[in-house]
Structure formats: C-alpha cells, structure tokens
Amino acid sequence: MQRTLAVLRYVAPKLIQFAFVIWATYTVTFLLIHLLPGDPLLAALSVKGGDATTTDPETLAVLREKFGLDGSLWDQYLGNFLAALRGDLGVSIATGQPVDAMIARALPNTASVAVLALIFGVVTSVVLTFLAFLTPSRWVRQTLLQIPPLGVAIPAFLSGLVLVSVFSFGLGWLPASGTRNPAAVILPAITLALPIGAIFFQVFSSAVLDAMRSPYVFTAVAKGVSPRSIFLRHVLRNSLLPSITILGLLIGYLAGGTAVVETVFSRDGIGRLTVDAVLARDATVIQGVVIVVALVYSVVNLIVDVSYGVIDPRTRGALSGRRSVGSAAVPAVASAVVSAPAGASAPATETALTEAGTES
Amino acid sequence: MRNLQKPGVIIAGLVLLAALAAMLVPSLFATHDPFEGVAADKLLPPSESYWFGTDHLGRDVYSRVVYGAYLSLVSAGAAVLVGVIVGAIVGLISGFVGGKLDFVVMRFVDVLIAVPGVLLALIVVAGLGFGPWSVALGVGLGAAGSFTRIMRSQVVRIRNEEYVEAARTLGVKWPSILLEHVLPNSAKPVIALAALELGTAILAVSALSFLGFGAQPPTPEWGALVSSGRDFVATAWWLSIIPGAVILVVVLAVNRLARLIGEER
C-alpha cells in the first residue's frame, strides 16, 4: 500500500505535466490559427475553389457547422477540445475526410522512418565515440569528434537530394520515393539520422568524457582493465543514462524534420500531411496534427521520465518510499551533462534542446 | 586578435563577408541577369561562363544564388530579431515580476520549446498566408522560447544583485531599473544565443521556402532554388545540390563565428 502510494507520488506530477502540455499545445495552436488575421474557413475555401469561392452566408453557415468553426471563439475552443478528448478531430476542410483517419493512415509511415533514423543516429554516435575513445592517436580522436556536429548544419533537403542522386539515380540500389517498397524507408531514415545523430552525439560524447574523469574509471585503469572493457562495462552504461533524457526532445525534432524529408522522398506521412494542410490552409487538419504530435511527444517524455526510475538503481530509493540522496542527484547530473556542450561546441538547435532539458 | 590566426575562423569570416556582400550589392557579383534566361542554354552543367550551370529556362544558377542571398539572409535575420525581441520582453517581465506570473509564463514557454520549430512556423504561415515575412515571423516565434528562458534566468540572477537593490533603495522606478541595470547586464548570453540561432534560422527559413511557403517564383531564394531544381535532380543535379551546398557552407561559417562569440563571453 505504502509502495503504491510512493509510486503514485512519483508519477502524479508527471501525469499532470503530461496533460498540461497537450492542453497548452492545443490552446497555443488554437490562438495562432484564430487570432491571426483572416477567417480560417474562407482562407481554406479560397485555396480550394479559387474565384469560384462561395460567399453565400447560408452555405457558409452550414460549412462552418460541419467543420466545427461555428459559434463564438469560446464555443469553438471548448467544443473542439472536448471533441478531441473523445478522439474526434473533426473533418478536413480540403478533403472532407475525417482528420483522425487521415492521421492514422499517415502515422505508420512516419513512425517507421523516425524509429529507424533514431536507431541509425544512436548506433553511429556510440560507435564513433567508441572509436574515438579507443584510438591512441590524438589527431584521429579530434577528427572523429569534429565530424558529427556537421550533421546539424546540413539542410535535410540537401542531404536527401544527394542521397537520392547517388544511391537511386547513380547506383540504382535503393528506391527514390514512395512507401510501397520496404527498402524505400532507408534513405529517408539516413537523411533524418544525420541531425538526430549529431545532437545525440554531442550529449553522449560529453557524458562519456565526464564518465572518463570519474574515480571508477581511474580505479579500473589502475587495476589494468583493457580500454575496451572499460568503455563497454563502465563508461557506456553510465553515459547512456543521461543521454536518454534528450531522446524525448529528439522526438520533437523528428516531427519537424519529417516535413522536409517526406517532401524530398515523396512519402505519405505526418510531415507531408502537415505541409499539404498548410498549403490548403486546412485549419482542422493542422490542429489535429499538432495535437497528435504533442501526444506522441508527451508519451515519449513520460516514458523517459518513468524509465529513469527503472533503469537507474539510484532513483529507486524514492520509489520505495525512502528519501535517498541519489534520487535528487541523478536528474541534476543529467541536466549538468546535457547543458555541458551548450557553451563549448553546440550548434543552435542543440542549445535550444539542452535548455529544454535543463529545467524539466 | 589571437582568433584571427585560426584558419577555420578566417575561412568562416571570409564566407560570411562574401555572403553579406552578395546580399547588399548583388549586381557587383552576378555574372548574368537572374531573371532573364537564354532558352538555347537551358540545363547546361557548370562551365566557365555558367559557374553553377543553368536551369530549365536557361537562367544562370550562380547569379540566382547571388541574388537569392538577400531574401534568405534578411528573413533569417528578421526571424532572429523577432525571437530576441519577443523573448527579451517576455523574459525580462516574467523574471522581474516573478511569483505566479513567472510560473505560468514559463510553463507556456516550456510548451513553446516543445513544439517543433518547423511545425510552429507552419502554423503561423497557415494563419498569415505565404511569403518570406510570415516565414520569418513563424521561425522567430519558434525561437522566442529559448530566448525567453535565457533572458529570464539572467534577470533572476541580476534581480538580487546589490546594485539593483541600491537603485531600488534610492527610489529609482522599476521601468528604469529594468532598462538601465537589468537589461544591459543580461544582454551577453542573449547575444551569444542570437548568433547561434542565426544558423538555425537560415536552415529553417530555407527549409520552409523549400516546402513552398516562402518566396514565390521567379523570386530567387536559396531554399526555393533547391526546390525548383528538385524535378531535374536525376539529370541536372547542380540545380539543387549547388544552392544547397551554398546554404551548408554559410550555416557552417555562421556557426563557427557564433561559437567564437560564445567562447568569449
């Protein structure tokens, strides 16, 4: 009983934060769409119909009701939010289809690219850091550590187009576009993995450097443990932990990055859906996509937060009711490490990300 | 001065100078008219007369890149300016007032940072209509969250400094305390972040133009150039790859110099 209470005390604030993020994202999007000049319905209709746009008040009133854009702003705000809570995201102004069905169709395509990109990025970062750690040459190490930050500066459309020209049109190894061929997921995933891996690398490698200076590594060296097993058995485990924190933030980055990548590779997915919705000025679809992205982002961050307690033995003290020193110390260590590269060698995206990490 | 001996810094400085010069007086650098093409010379690969090749209308890609520098760099600069101004005002007030207001504002800032920048910019563009300036506003609002957070943390640090306390005891009104004591002393980290954000803003602005929300053809803009060359990438790779590479080089240069500013603080 006491244990469930302790778990509840640990999880409850995180659940409240979870609900807040989704509500606030909805509110911010709603305000942006409705307070910016222009009527969302008329804007969407004029894109769709050109000069043939209907201006008949009765037809407009019917359409307004259909798309949930009728009544006062407050009614719309509350009505759409309650509908969204029930899982009803409304009807697309441009296509007339239910928004939730459109998103459900697009989500698996985006998820497969995002997950693969995350795997590519994380594995490459770990391998590069491992090689940099093992090499005896200072020069090779410096070079290896300098490569990944380039990934943040490469525009995704450039790397995507280069990959397409080389591997699809040049060598003919991989399909250039579409979603039907399972191999079509590889090139978009590599394109997305570049910035993702670069951001992860900076946090991970500074965590490794931090762990290297710790007493347990000193002891292991003194005992004569080989560098390889020091890295695999001591350093890797201790530096992956703080790196997990930014995984949640990377999800946000992935959601933005897919818009460009899915356009380059002509894939159906959340990014493409968003771009098309903005082109058609389709307010209901935009609102729906933002809610879903916020939901995914919050779920991942919730899992990361809670998994901290499972992965790190030091935080378990808090779960079993005892107040341990470790529980307070670990988030502090994580945020210190996460914020460490900001001053030294962080491209801007990363600073923004790490700042999000330090205070959460 | 010692920084001028680092080769990376010198190259970055030269790249940035060239980009700024192209932005201010494109006619000096362009070799051809950016809008008028020679129909017979369409889709030519890079050569001595056409440095970056020509597009499907026979226009010189190099001259279009030179003329495109203006919109790309100015709208990225405007985006950072929007971020700095919004972030500085909100952060200044939120940090100075403190208490419940500060708590509520910062929770919204958390959300603003959590929403991916490109997505936020897309929402703004959807509301305001297309064009380079709504793109700049959208990207700027996306960056405003980080600026607010840094500004606030500086204000909270300075608020309790002795000279602020002294000014308050002497009866100085709070708007002048904010402007004369808090703002100047908290500016440095904000400037360092602004320099870093410029590279990101160039990337974000060109990505949104690539998606078709920024400058409309035939206006030259770097992201739009890459996008218009995309249809020919199988046969005429230089149309999109070269303007894309120009963006990469400029962003790398900006980031290198921004890091220099960050180190000096």
- Chain A residues with beta carbon closer than 8 angstroms to that of B212: 275, 279
Contact B214, B131 (CB under 8 A): yes
Residue from A69, A71, A110 nearest A92 by CA: A69
**Mean of pLDDT values over B124-152:** 88
Instruction: For residue B179, give every residue at least 6 positions away whose Cβ sits within 8 Å of its Cβ, in sequence order, or none.
Output: none
Task: Report the 10 Å Cβ neighbour count for B160.
Answer: 8
A257 to B125: CB separation less than 8 angstroms, yes or no: no
Q: Is the pLDDT of residue B90 over 90?
A: yes
Is B77:B68 a contact under the CB 8 Å cutoff? no
Contact indicator for B122, B138 with CB cutoff of 8 Å: yes
**More confidently predicted of A344 and A31:** A31
Q: Do A359 and B244 touch (CB under 8 A)?
A: no
In this prediction, residue B53 carries a pLDDT of 77
Would you state the pLDDT for residue A336? 37
> Span A253-264, mean pLDDT?
83
Q: What residues of chain B lie within 8 A of the CB of A351, using their CB?
A: 146, 193, 196
What would the two tokens of residue B241 be?
Answer: 């790859």
Residue A52 scores a pLDDT above 90: no
Query: Under 8 Å CB-to-CB from A277, ≥6 apart: which residues?
Result: A92, A94, A285, A286, A289, B126
Which residues in chain B are closer than 8 Å to A261, comparing Cβ atoms?
A: none
CA distance A252 to chain B (A): 5
Interface test with A, best of B15, B16, B118 (most A CBs within 10 A): B118
Q: Which residue has better confidence, A272 or A240?
A: A272
CA angle A44, A45, A49 (to 5 degrees): 125
Higher-confidence residue: B15 or A89? B15
Closest to A258 (Cα-Cα) out of A121, A349, A157, A125: A157
The region, left, alpha or beta by phi > 0 then psi within -120 to 50, assigned to residue B127 is: alpha
pLDDT above 70: residue A352: no
Q: Determine the length of chain B.
A: 265
Contact by Cβ (8 Å): B237, A172: no
CA–CA gap between residue B56 and residue B43 (Å, rounded): 5
Determine the structural domain holding residue B244 and report its residue range: 2-264
| Record: contact B111-A345, CB cut-off 8 A | no
Among residues 89-108 of chain B, which lie with CB inside 8 Å of chain A? Answer: 106-108
Phi-psi group of A162: left, alpha or beta (phi > 0 → left; psi -120 to 50 → alpha; rest → beta): alpha
Confidence (pLDDT) at A325: 41
Confidence of residue A353 (pLDDT cuts 50, 70, 90): very low
As a whole-number percent, the residues of chain A with pLDDT over 70 amount to 82
**Which residue in chain A has the smallest CA separation from B80?**
A348
- Inter-chain CB proximity A253 and B116 less than 8 Å: yes
- Verify whether the Cβ–Cβ distance B244 to A155 is below 8 Å: yes
| Structure token pair of residue A217 | 């590594």
Q: Which residue of A has its CA nearest to B261?
A: A343
Nearest residue on chain A to B204, alpha-carbon basis: A155
Query: DSSP string spanning A123-181?
Result: HHHHHHHHHHHH-S-HHHHHHHHHSTTHHHHS-HHHHHHHHIIIIIIIS--S-SS-SSS
* Best CA proximity match to B190, nearest among B117, B139, B98, B258: B258
pLDDT at A40 over 90: no
Task: Give the CATH number for residue B139.
Answer: 1.10.3720.10
CB–CB contact A278 B112 (8 Å): no
**pLDDT, average across residues A333-349:** 36
Question: Mean pLDDT over residues A58-69, rounded?
Answer: 73
**Cα distance from N-terminal residue to C-terminal residue, chain A:** 29
The rounded distance, in Å, linking the Cα atoms of B243 and B249 is: 10
Mean pLDDT, chain B, whole residue set: 85
Does the distance separating the beta carbons of A157 and B244 come in below 8 Å?
yes
What pLDDT was estimated at residue B186?
84
Q: For the whole prediction, is pTM greater than 0.90?
A: no
Average pLDDT score over residue span A121-135: 85
Which of the pair, B44 or B15, is modelled with greater confidence? B15
A21, pLDDT greater than 80: yes
Contacts of B41-50 with C-beta under 8 Å, sequence gap 24+, read: B43/B232, B43/B235, B43/B236, B43/B239, B45/B236, B45/B238, B46/B238, B46/B242
Alpha-carbon distance A3 to nearest alpha carbon in chain B (angstroms) = 30
Integer Cα distance of A160 and A163 in angstroms:
5
pLDDT beyond 80 at B97? yes
Report the C-alpha gap between B206 and A154 in whole angstroms.
12
Q: Which residue has the higher pLDDT, A323 or A146?
A: A146
Confidence of residue B15 (pLDDT cuts 50, 70, 90): confident
What was the pLDDT predicted at A283? 82
Query: CB contact, 8 Å: B189 with chain A?
Result: no
Cα–Cα distance measured from residue B257 to residue A193, given in angstroms and rounded to the nearest whole number = 25
Helix (H) / strand (E) element for B125: namely: helix B117-128
* Angstroms from B211 CA to nearest CA on chain A: 7
The Cα-based distances of A39 to A36, A49, A69, B5, B131 in angstroms read: 9, 15, 10, 57, 18
In chain B, positions 70-89, which contact chain A (CB-CB < 8 Å)? none
Tally C-beta pairs within 8 A across A and B.
174
Question: Quick check: B251 and A155 CB within 8 A?
Answer: yes
Name the average pLDDT for chain A. 75
Q: CB B248 to CB A165 under 8 A?
A: no
Q: Tell me the nearest-neighbour CA distance from A12 into chain B, angstroms.
A: 17
> Is A24's CB within 8 Å of B111's CB?
yes
Query: Minimal Cα–Cα distance from A316 to chain B, Å?
Result: 27
Q: Give residue B157's pLDDT.
A: 86
Does the pLDDT at position A139 exceed 80? yes
Query: For residue A356, what pLDDT band results from cuts at 50, 70 and 90?
Result: very low
d(CA A38, nearest CA chain B) in Å: 7
How far from the centroid of its chain's Cα atoms is residue B140's Cα? 8
- A203 pLDDT band (50/70/90 cuts)? confident
Structure token digits, residue A141: 């190490």
Strand partners, A91: A98
| The pLDDT of residue B235 is above 70 | yes
Q: Is the dihedral of CA B147, B153, B157, B163 positive or negative?
A: positive
Cβ separation B124–A352 shorter than 8 A: no
B122 interface with A at CB cutoff 8 Å: yes
| Domain total of chain B | 1
Two tokens, residue B119 = 């997505």
Length of chain A: 360
Question: Rounded distance, CA B137 to CA B144, Å?
Answer: 10
Q: Are A356 and B110 an interchain contact pair (Cβ–Cβ within 8 Å)?
A: yes
Q: Provide the angle, in degrees to the nearest 10, between the axes of the packed helices B132-159 and B99-114.
A: 140
